[in-house]
Amino acid sequence: MVDKIDNQLCPFCHKKTMTMMEDEMDMPYFGKVFVFSMDCSNCDFHKSDIEAEERKNPCELTFTVENEEDLKVRVVKSSEASIKIPQLRMSVDPGANSNGYISNVEGLINRFKKIVEEQRDNADDKDIRKKAKNLLKKIRKVEYGEAPLKIVITDKSGNSAIISEKTKIKKIKG
Question: Residue 96's pLDDT is what?
Answer: 64
Q: Find the farthest-apart pair of alpha carbons in the chain and give their distance in angstroms, rounded.
A: 50
| Percentage of the chain modeled with pLDDT above 90 | 68
On the CB side of 99, CA atoms within 13 Å amount to 14
Q: Report pLDDT digits (tens) over 124-157.
A: 999 999 999 999 999 999 999 899 999 999 999 8
Q: Are the C-beta atoms of 16 and 7 separated by less than 8 Å?
A: yes
CATH number of 55-174: 2.60.120.1040
Helices 126-143/105-122 angle, 10° precision: 160
User: In CATH terms, are 1-54 and 55-174 the same topology?
Assistant: no
- Distance in angstroms (rounded) separating the CA atoms of residues 146 and 5: 46
Question: Residue 29's pLDDT is what?
Answer: 65
- The mean pLDDT of 74-103, rounded to a whole number, is 87
Q: Are the C-beta atoms of 78 and 160 separated by less than 8 Å?
A: yes
Question: Residue 1's pLDDT is what?
Answer: 66
Between 53 and 17, the higher pLDDT residue: 17
Q: Is the pTM of this model over 0.75?
A: yes
Q: Report pLDDT digits (tens) over 32-55.
A: 888 899 999 999 999 988 887 877
Question: Residue 7's pLDDT is what?
Answer: 96
Q: Report pLDDT digits (tens) over 74-88.
A: 999 988 899 999 988
Topology of domain 1-54, per CATH? N-terminal domain of TfIIb (2.20.25)
Q: Which residues of 89-128 are buried (b: 16+ CB within 10 A; e: fewer)?
A: eeebebeeebebbbebbbebbeebbeebbebbeeeeeeee
Between 2 and 24, the higher pLDDT residue: 24
**What residue ranges do the domains of the chain occupy?**
1-54, 55-174
- Distance in angstroms (rounded) separating the CA atoms of residues 89 and 99: 21
